[in-house]
Amino acid sequence: MMRHSTSPHPLHGGERHMQRRNAGALAEALARSRETTLFVVLLLIVGGTALARPQFLNLQNLRDVLLNVSIVSLLTAGMTIVILMRHIDLSVGSTVGISAYGVGSLYVAFPHMPVLGALVAGLAIGLVAGAINAMLVAVGRVPSLVATLSTLYIFRGGDYAWVHGGQINATSLPDAFSRLATGSVLGIPVLALIALVLLAVLSVYLKQFRPGREYYAIGSNPEAARLAGINVERRVATGFLISGAIAGFAGALWLARFGTVDASTAKGIELQVVAAAVVGSVAITGGVGTILGATLGALVLGVISIALVVLHVSPFWEQAIQGALIVAAIAADTLLARSVAKRMMRKRDHG
């Protein structure tokens, strides 16, 4: 009597191995393309909210999302450059606050100041703040977490001392400046167009120019970058200068957007910015991330914020969702890193 073997046919085993390998490669490709994943998530959030509340898809909500995300996405882009080098800038919220009040004070003193002058003034205030952070981190070798946490309180304390209980109102601002937020071109808010241009410039800077590529090299391996001839300290200082300048510029835009500013302006926004960067594919361990991904992260969080209001959900859930997204993003990065490491080891062994 012949016994039929119950063991799987070699071809079947090979097919299963190939399927597992293809599935792993597909999962890895999806994980690598976080931008695609974020875009799908964004569509799901918009579609789900629209099904529950059809009024969600109206022009006013779309305009609010674009206006709110424009400022946050700019701050997230500056934060991205810093995080790429394994650093962090927690002072961006305080920089926005003091810049917004500074520009408003200039308009009180010089009512006919041109709009370009106001934007340059905000950028200059941010540059000063960024220079202080750069000196502490790049020259003083103070850990960026400690340095920027300190300047967060220093800048905010200086803002409180300067404001002294006062505030700047929209009535003190010229119409030309306010139109940065109220005006539109082909239905798109001017503020969103300004942010889009700056984000495109920063994206090209990181991808196409050598200084931009050096941020990735420093984040991937600082010592190897130094051995390759990169002036790490100078590049770190430049990163903090860019982050500070963007925060100062965003402060001027914040003034145009909301009109009224005081000592508490933009308080706590640095946490939202960090969340948007991490959710948007910027690895907190440095060396990985894009401006596009960071912008999509800011857009996802902005849409979630509007959706919770439309769905009449408690705003306290917004912070809980942001925290959950941060944990999910970091977990995904960790799993991806382990998967890539295992694949490289297998290839080395087979080689």
- DSSP for 120-170 reads HHHHHHHHHHHHHHHIIIIIS---HHHHHHHHHHHHHHHHHHHHTT--B-G
Choose the weakest-confidence range: 137-146, 232-241, 319-328: 319-328
Q: What is the mean pLDDT of residues 274-288?
A: 89
pLDDT, residue 97, reads 96
For residue 351, pLDDT beyond 70: no
Using an 8 Å Cβ cutoff, are 278 and 326 in contact? yes
Using an 8 Å Cβ cutoff, are 299 and 69 in contact? yes
Q: What is the mean pLDDT of residues 78-84?
A: 96
Using a 10 angstrom Cβ sphere, with 0-12 exposed, 13-18 middle and 19 or more buried, the burial of residue 53 is: middle
Strand partners, 120: none
Choose the weakest-confidence range: 22-36, 100-114, 196-210: 22-36
Using an 8 Å Cβ cutoff, are 183 and 189 in contact? yes
Global confidence as pTM = 0.85
Residue spans per domain, the chain: 58-266
Residue 245's CB: how many other CB atoms inside 10 A? Answer: 23
- For residue 100, which of 169, 153, 176 has the smallest C-alpha distance? 169
Q: What is the mean pLDDT of residues 190-213?
A: 95
pLDDT digits (tens, 9 = 90+) for 101-154: 999 999 999 999 999 999 999 999 999 999 999 999 999 999 999 999 999 999
pLDDT digits (tens, 9 = 90+) for 34-80: 788 888 888 888 899 889 888 888 888 888 889 989 999 999 999 99
* Alpha-carbon span 244 to 205, nearest angstrom: 17
Q: How confident is the model at residue 329 (pLDDT cuts 50, 70, 90)?
A: confident
Which runs of E-coded beta strand occur in the chain?
184-185, 188-189
For residue 11, pLDDT beyond 50: no
7 versus 101: the higher-pLDDT residue is: 101
Using an 8 Å Cβ cutoff, are 152 and 93 in contact? yes
